[in-house]
């Protein structure tokens, strides 16, 4: 291969232009001829025994050249990427610029690449935000009363459903009455000793929920601040991929609730493309944060504990028995590595 030139383009893309020599391309031309001849038939000849001249007269030189070019670039593109240390992502756009027997194969390839950028002082940013952390909201009497009232309403709905069944069966229903909030009510929920026990457990649960909410808020602030202080162009392919993930998540939530996703789209009068177009800014931010987190993993040389990875793989396989082991491992390592990054950012003083 010779005459390779690589030019940086806008939007985190590069264009690779070059040629594959006559000698090398001739090898692929012969391979393509043999490949196509193998299953070719013609009157008077058995399959695979057709003379080359007859074969070329029937198939045409252009067909052989295009197969040869496809096979050649399938082999050479990865070599170009590796030899020139190009962090390519997504599918490349390939244009054949010269294609003729007895000539070099000319080509242009455009591909998206991972952007090169410098991280801000992420530990300092995280430390500043963490130092201002607020205490989770205290659990108030109103919080407990509201939670208990929600449980009461759920219980009354269950009783209403039972009464409705009785009416449908032409039986005399019991008289409607509002449930009293007492020890009997607490015990009827199946896991509490009495009303005080119910209130105590609810207090613990609400407190944990408030703590998690505060933690999530702090984590989001750290990540958003890192994104705001990091400058680089995000490849279009990554934004597109993030939109696809967001759409898949929405579809899952809609279908899990028992609704048909196509009917949901019809209800909001939007196509999938129109819906995801409104997500551009959020998808761009998510893609940017993912790249920042991946770079921190490299900067900190983060490697998840092998025992934890194995445990995570086992958990994944229990839920998805048919998942390939390599994909389960990659997912487990990714999740655990990210958790270590979050731990680093949320506890910047931790050694």
**Over 80: is that where the pLDDT of 46 sits?**
no
Of 28-42, 156-170, 328-342, the range with the lowest mean pLDDT is 156-170
Burial 86-107 (b: 16+ CB within 10 A, else e): bebeeebebeeeebeeeebbbb
Cα 123 from chain centre: 26
Q: What is the pLDDT of residue 20?
A: 95
Q: Is the pLDDT of residue 280 over 70?
A: yes
For 241-259, how does the pLDDT look when each residue is reduced to its tens digit (9 = 90+)? 999 999 999 999 999 888 9
Q: What is the dihedral of CA 296, 298, 304, 306, to 10 degrees?
A: 180
CB-CB contact of 154 with 188 (8 Å): no
The confidence band for 11, taking pLDDT boundaries of 50, 70 and 90, is confident
On average, the pLDDT of the chain sits at 90
d(CA 322, CA 344): 34
- Give the distance, in angstroms, between the CA of residue 259 and the centroid of all CA atoms in the same chain: 23
Q: What is the pLDDT of residues 204-218, one digit of tens each?
A: 999 999 999 999 999
Q: What is the arrangement of strands in the sheet containing 2-9, beginning at the earlier edge strand?
A: 2-9, 13-20, 105-113, 88-98
Report pLDDT for 78: 95
Per-residue DSSP letters for 177-213? -PPP-SHHHHHHTSS-SSHHHHHHHHHHHHHHHHHHH
Question: How far apart, in whole angstroms, are the C-alpha atoms of residue 75 and residue 33?
Answer: 17
28 vs 34: CA distance, rounded Å: 10
Q: Output the six-digit token pair for 256.
A: 């899990």
Phi, psi (degrees; rounded to nearest 5) at 110: -115, 130
Beta-bridged to residue 95, according to DSSP, are 108
Whether the per-residue pLDDT at 270 is higher than 60: the answer is: yes
Q: For the chain, what's the residue count?
A: 351
pLDDT over 90 (residue 148): yes
Q: 23 pLDDT exceeds 60?
A: yes
DSSP class of residue 323? Answer: S
- Judge whether 187 and 193 are in contact, CB under 8 Å: yes
| pLDDT surpassing 60 at residue 167 | no
Helix (H, G, I), strand (E, B) or coil at 48: coil
Residue 85 clears pLDDT 60, i.e. is over it: yes
- Inform me whether the pLDDT recorded for 173 exceeds 60: no
Task: Please give the model's pTM, rounded to 2 decimal places.
Answer: 0.79
The pLDDT of residue 162 is above 70: no
When pLDDT is averaged across residues 147-157 and rounded to a whole number, the result is 90
Are β-strands 105-113 and 2-9 bridged in parallel, bridged antiparallel, or unpaired?
A: unpaired
310-313 long-range contacts, Cβ below 8 Å, gap at least 24?
312/336
Residue partners of 144: CB distance under 8 A and separation at least 6: 199, 202, 203, 206
Q: What is the pLDDT of residues 303-346, one digit of tens each?
A: 999 999 999 999 999 998 999 999 999 999 999 999 999 999 99
């Amino acid at each position: 291969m010779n005459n390779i030139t690589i030019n940086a383009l806008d939007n985190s893309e590069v264009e690779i232009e070059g040629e594959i020599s006559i000698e090398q391309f001739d090898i692929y031309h012969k391979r393509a001829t043999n490949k196509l001849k193998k299953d070719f038939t013609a009157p008077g000849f058995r399959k695979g025994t057709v003379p080359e001249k007859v074969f070329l007269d029937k198939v045409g030189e252009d067909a052989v050249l295009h197969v040869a070019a496809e096979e050649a670039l399938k082999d050479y593109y990865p070599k170009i990427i590796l030899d020139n240390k190009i962090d390519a992502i997504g599918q490349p756009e390939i244009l054949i610029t010269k294609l003729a027997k007895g000539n070099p194969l000319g080509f242009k390839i455009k591909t998206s690449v991972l952007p090169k950028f410098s991280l801000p002082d992420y530990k300092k940013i995280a430390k500043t935000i963490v130092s201002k952390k607020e205490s989770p909201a205290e659990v108030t009497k109103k919080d407990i009363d509201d939670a208990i009232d929600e449980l009461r309403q759920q219980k009354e709905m269950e009783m209403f459903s039972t009464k409705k069944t009785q009416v449908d069966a032409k039986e005399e229903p019991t008289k409607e009455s509002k449930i009293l909030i007492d020890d009997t009510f607490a015990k009827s929920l199946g896991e509490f000793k009495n009303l005080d026990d119910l209130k105590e457990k609810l207090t613990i649960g609400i407190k944990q929920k408030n703590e998690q909410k505060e933690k999530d808020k702090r984590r989001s602030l750290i990540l958003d601040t890192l994104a705001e202080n990091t400058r680089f162009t995000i490849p279009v392919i990554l934004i597109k991929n993030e939109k696809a993930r967001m759409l898949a998540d929405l579809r899952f939530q809609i279908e899990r609730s028992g609704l048909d996703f196509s009917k949901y789209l019809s209800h909001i009068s939007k196509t999938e493309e129109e819906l995801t177009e409104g997500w551009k800014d959020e998808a761009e931010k998510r893609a940017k944060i993912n790249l920042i987190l991946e770079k921190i993993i490299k900067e900190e040389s983060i490697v998840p504990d092998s025992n934890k990875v194995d445990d995570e793989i086992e958990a994944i396989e229990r839920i998805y028995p048919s998942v390939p082991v390599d994909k389960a491992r990659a997912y487990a390592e990714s999740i655990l590595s990210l958790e270590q990054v979050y731990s680093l950012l949320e506890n910047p003083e931790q050694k």
